[in-house]
Amino acid sequence: MCVCPKGRASYSWNVTANSLGVISFNVTAQTTFIGATCGGPPNTTQPPRSDTVIKTVIVEAEGIEKEVTYSNLVCVEGNNAQIPFSITPPANMVKGSAKASVTVIGDPLGHAVNNPDSLIQMPTGCGEQNLVKLLPIPAVLAYLNCSGQLTKEIQDKAVQYMATGYVRQLGFKRYDGTFSAFGQRDPEGSSWLTALSLYTFQKIKQYTLVDPTVINQGLVALEKSQDLQSGCFKVSGTLFNSELKGGAENEISFTAYVVAILMETNYPGAQTLLRNGLGCLDAASRREQTLYNLALLFYAFSLSGNEERRNATLAKLKKLAIHENGGIHWEQTDKPIAEKYPFFYAPPPSADIEITGYVLLGFTKGPAPSQEEKSYMTQIAVWLVRQQNSQGGFRSTADTVVALQALAEYSCLVYKKGATNRVTVSLARQVIATFNVQPSNRLLVQRRMLPSQQGNYSFGVSGNGCCLIQSTVKYNVPVVRKNSTFSLSVNTSSGSCINGAAFIIPINLTLSYNGRKNQSNMAVVDMKLLSGYSVQYQSLLQLRQQVPKVEQINNHLIIYLSSVQREPISLPVSLEMGNRVQNFQPQSIYVYDYYDQDENAVVEVRHPCSH
C-alpha cells in the first residue's frame, strides 16, 4: 500500500485461532519506496525504515473453568507405597480444554511458603479475606524455625508481606476501633472481624511494626461487649457466614475466640476480661453445644490449661468423630443437602474443615501428646491435607486460616529431620515422571504436566518420611442454563448493535435468593467479559455506589454483595469496545455464596450482534 505524506492507511485481515493458549502476533511495517508522491520518483537519500509491534492474544475455551484436586499425605519408613488415581473428565467437557498435572512437595506447607497470595481460588477483596493472606504466615514461619528450615530469604520476604498486609487491613478499620468487611462503607463494625484482626496483629507484631494503639482500641470495643453477669462476649455486626456463626449459640464460639486473643495481650484489663470469659466457657461446656462450639471450647481450654474441661470436651468430640480411609474428621449434622451439578466438584463444606482444624489445633496447644494422641493427630492431619486445593489452601477464608495454623503446629511436633522420598508417576505401569524430595528441596513445589488427560495413573512413594502428592485436572464445561439457589437473569439490548458492531453494550443483571435461608451469606458475582470489551469507566463508578466493592481481575468483573435477599435487585453494567472481534462466543456470569459454593447460579451473556 502507498501512504501519502501526512496521510494514513489501514489494512485488516481475519485471524482464526485453532488451539487454546497464548498466541503472539508480530506485525511489521517496512518501507519499499520513499518519495514525495506515490507515483513519483524515489528519494534515494532516505534509508529504508521499519517498525514492529508484538501483541498477544489469549485464546480460552468457552464455558466455565473447573478444577478438581486430589491431595494425599504419604508417609513411608523404608517401604514402598502405591497410590492409584484415575483421571476421568466429565462427558460434557469442552473439547481440548482439559489439562492434567501432578505436584510433589516434601512439606504440606510448601505452597503457603512459596505463594501465600494464592492460597484460595476465590476473590479476596474484603477485610476478612485479606486476613487469609496474612494470618497463616506467622504460623508457617514458626514451623520453619522449629524445624530448622527458616532462611533469611524466606523471613525477609515474609516480613515484607506481613507489613503490606497489615497496612491493607488498616483500610478496613473504622473510626470506633472496630473492623468490618468493607470498612466505613458498612453500617457498623463486625465483632468477629475485629477479633480476627486483633488475633492476626498479635501474631505478626513480633515480625513487623504494629501500632499497639490499634490493638488496644479494638480490645476496648470488645470489652464493651462483655456481659458482666455471664462473662460471655456478645456478637454485633454482620455475620457473613450465617451457617457457621449464626444463631443463639454464637456467643460461645466468639467468647472462645476472644479468650485466645486475651491470653496473648498486654491490655491492662485483660486479666479481668479473661477470667470472666473463661467462666462463661466453663458454664457453657456443661451444657449441650453445637459441634462448632465444642471444637472452639476444646481449643480454648487447651490454651488456658483447664485440663478437666479440656478432657470432658475432647470426650464429646471423640464420640462425634468420623473415621474414614485412614483419616479422622468432624461433620456438622445439620448441614444442608445441596443440589449437585455435574460441573461442580463438591468437597466437604468449609465449616467441616474449620471444625476439624480447631480440633487439631487444640491437640497442639495442650500437654505434650502421647504416642496414641500423636497417631490420632496424624489421622486428623491426613484428612485435612486431602482437602487442600492445588495452591495449598482450602475452600474459603476461615477454614484456610485455621487448617494451615493447625497443620503448621502439628508439623512442628512431628517433623523428621533428613527425610528423603522418591516419587514416581506411572501410566499403564510405565513410569512417566520421577521426583526426588530431599532436605535441600523439601519446600520446592515440583510440578509436571501429564501426557494424557484421561487414564489410570498411580503414584509410587519410597524412602523415609512424608511428602504431599497432588493430582489436578482443569477443564471447561458448558454453561447449564438452569438456576438453583439464586435466581439470575441477564438482559442485553439488541438495539446496541449497529451495522454489525456494538461500541457500547448495556447489560442488566437481575438477581435474587431463593434458597433455604432467609438470605444468602456474602455473595460474589463473577462476570467474564465479552472478548474485546472492558467495563465502561462511568458504569464502574455507578456500580461502586451501589454495592460494597467491585474489582476487575484480568477479564473478570467481580462484584461483592453483603448478602442477597429474596427481593430481586438489578445491577446495570455497560461494556465498551476495545479491539474489534468477530464470531463472538457467549461468556458466563456466575453468582455464588462465598461460604457455601454449593449455593450458586450461572447464566450466559451473548453479544447483541450474535443473536
Q: Find out whether 255 and 281 touch, Cβ atoms under 8 Å.
A: yes
CA distance 404 to 361: 10
Residue 291's closest CA among 316, 324, 256, 328?
316
Residues 320, 302: Cα–Cα separation, whole Å: 19
* pLDDT at residue 342, as a whole number: 39
Nearest to 409 by CA among 308, 302, 309: 302
* Cα(343)–Cα(65) distance, integer angstroms: 9
Distance CA 36, CA 465 (A): 78
Residue pair 239/195 in contact (Cβ under 8 Å)? The answer is no
Task: Give the pLDDT of residue 554.
Answer: 84
**What does the alpha-carbon distance between residue 46 and residue 395 come to, in Å, rounded to a whole number?**
64
Q: Is the four-CA dihedral 372, 373, 374, 375 of positive or negative sign? A: positive
What burial class does residue 124 get, using C-beta atoms within 10 Å of its C-beta: 0-12 exposed, 13-18 middle, 19+ buried? Answer: middle
Beta bridge partners, 433, equal 425
Q: Report d(CA 166, CA 119) in Å as an integer.
A: 18
Query: Could you tell me which residues come within 8 angstroms of residue 553 by beta carbon, excluding any fewer than 6 positions away?
Result: 123
Counted residue by residue, the chain has a size of 611
- What is the per-residue pLDDT across 324-353, written as a single tens digit (0 to 9) for each? 989 999 998 766 554 443 333 457 888 899
**Mean pLDDT along residues 17-42:** 84
CATH class of 107-414: mainly alpha
- Tell me the percentage of the chain whose pLDDT exceeds 90: 51
Residue 377 and residue 410 in contact, taking contact as beta carbons nearer than 8 Å: yes
Give 248's pLDDT tier (boundaries 50, 70, 90): very low
Task: Give the residue from 116, 154, 153, 120 showing the smallest Cα distance to 137.
Answer: 116
Q: Amino acid letter at 327?
A: G
CATH 3.30.365.10 assigned to domain 62-106+419-477? The reply is no
Phi, psi of 30 (to 5 degrees): -135, 135
Q: What cell numbers appear for 263 in the block?
A: 491470653
Q: Which residues pair with 53 in a beta bridge?
A: 27
Map out the domains of the chain as residue ranges.
1-59, 62-106+419-477, 107-414, 479-610
Distance separating alpha carbons of residues 359 and 361, to the nearest angstrom: 5
- Give 174-190 pLDDT, tens digit per residue: 999 999 888 888 888 88
All cell numbers assigned to 414 = 512431628
Give CA–CA dist 120/524, Å, rounded: 14
Mean pLDDT (whole number) for 250-254: 88
Q: Which CATH superfamily is domain 479-610 in?
A: Alpha-macroglobulin, receptor-binding domain (2.60.40.690)
Instruction: Tell me how far apart the alpha carbons of residues 424 and 71 are, in angstroms, rounded to a whole number.
Output: 15
In this structure, what C-alpha cell is assigned to residue 102?
Answer: 501432578
Does 107-414 match 479-610 in CATH topology? no
- pLDDT at residue number 490: 92
**pLDDT value at 246 more than 50:** no
Q: CB neighbours (10 Å) of residue 45?
A: 6
pLDDT at 601 over 80: yes
CA separation for the pair 521, 397 (Å, rounded): 13
- 499 or 285: which carries more pLDDT confidence? 285
Instruction: Give the Å distances, CA to CA, from 606 to 94, 135, 470, 492.
Output: 18, 41, 37, 8
List the one residue out of 22, 61, 88 whose CA is nearest residue 473.
88
- Tell me the pLDDT tens digit for each residue of 421-455: 999 999 988 999 999 999 999 999 999 999 988 88
